[in-house]
Amino acid sequence: MRTEHVRTALAIAETASFRAAALRLGISQSTVSAHIDSLETELGVTLFERSRSGARLSAAGRLVHSALLGLRDAEDVLRDAARGAITDTSEVIRVAAVNAAVTTVLPESLHALVDDPAVEVRVSIRGSRDVIDRIRSQRADLGVIAYEVGREPDSVGIRIDPLLTGSVGVLTPPGHPIARARRVTTADLRGQRLVAFHPGYLMHAVAERLLADADVRVVSHVDSTPDAIRQVAAGVGICLVPDFSVVAGDADEWRALEGAADRIGLALIRREDAVPSSRLRRLEQEIHRHAADYRRRHGTPTGSTTVRVTV
């Protein structure tokens, strides 16, 4: 089994799109398809369900997903050990982050280290609980998590530095009646079809609490914001997401949910007892700087905005 095929499968699972996975990996979409065809043939199962709105893990794909993650992590450990044997001046910085970090503070921050030939930054996109677990178990050096303001995660053993806070809002297809309303409350969502996040994700708990009396109908579950955006664009349903999870563009519409006191935060975390290298400190500083820039540029939306969908 070739590890690049495993990484391709995981990239599709994280982006919910063959095209987006190709862009992330820097390879052609036909190569992505060839990798998956080879892996599915070798495993004897279909890993993804393809549709016009993207790709999602099949039932068999969900069963083997954790094993694929284990293979990728094992390769990372092996490569780290090999690099350490070659030189003690090179450095691998492991960053685990939620999807929202990729649309806000992370990409520009990484530019601070791209010209340093002795450092490699590896970014893996994961849920907040997994990010925290990786920081505590020393499988990641730096993490970016999402959390509910006022319901911060257990901070024992980790340092939590807030970066952004945002409002909870409703993501709808363009032209949806909710998007045209002057104001949107939970009562306006009654009877709507809902694209929900799987249990264990932050926005699953937020949506359950906010929509407890709204009588919404859950029609789909997703593992990532990009997947939610694509399903909303395809007309599957609406979805609750924080404002910083969306990217300004020309497709789905986001409306602030009035009366929702819930605020979602984005925070930088690392182990309290960790002694960061100079490069890691520099990356932390860049993340904080770009978070401040993001706050100045975007502020907090109070009406509506649109998001770009790439399938």
pLDDT digits (tens, 9 = 90+) for 108-138: 898 888 788 888 899 998 888 889 999 998 9
pLDDT at 224: 81
Confidence of residue 21 (pLDDT cuts 50, 70, 90): confident
Q: Are 257 and 216 in contact (CB under 8 A)?
A: no
What is the percentage of the chain residues whose pLDDT exceeds 70? 90
- Which is higher by pLDDT, 248 or 63? 63
Average pLDDT, the chain: 85
Confidence of residue 247 (pLDDT cuts 50, 70, 90): low
| Listed range (37-46, 132-141, 193-202, 254-263) with the worst mean pLDDT | 254-263
Q: At residue 172, does pLDDT exceed 70?
A: yes
Could you read off the pLDDT of 73-118 as tens digits, one per residue? 888 778 766 655 555 557 899 999 988 888 788 888 988 887 888 8
pLDDT at 292: 92
Query: CA-to-CA distance for 175 and 5, rounded, in angstroms?
Result: 40
- Cα end-to-end distance, the chain, whole Å: 28
Query: CA-to-CA distance for 225 and 68, rounded, in angstroms?
Result: 21
pLDDT at 20: 87
- Which is higher by pLDDT, 201 or 219? 219
pLDDT at 94: 94
Q: At residue 305, does pLDDT exceed 70?
A: no
Q: Taking the alpha carbons of 145, 151, 154, 159 in that order, is the dihedral positive or negative?
A: positive
Closest CA to 243 of 189, 171, 172: 171
Q: At residue 300, does pLDDT exceed 50?
A: no
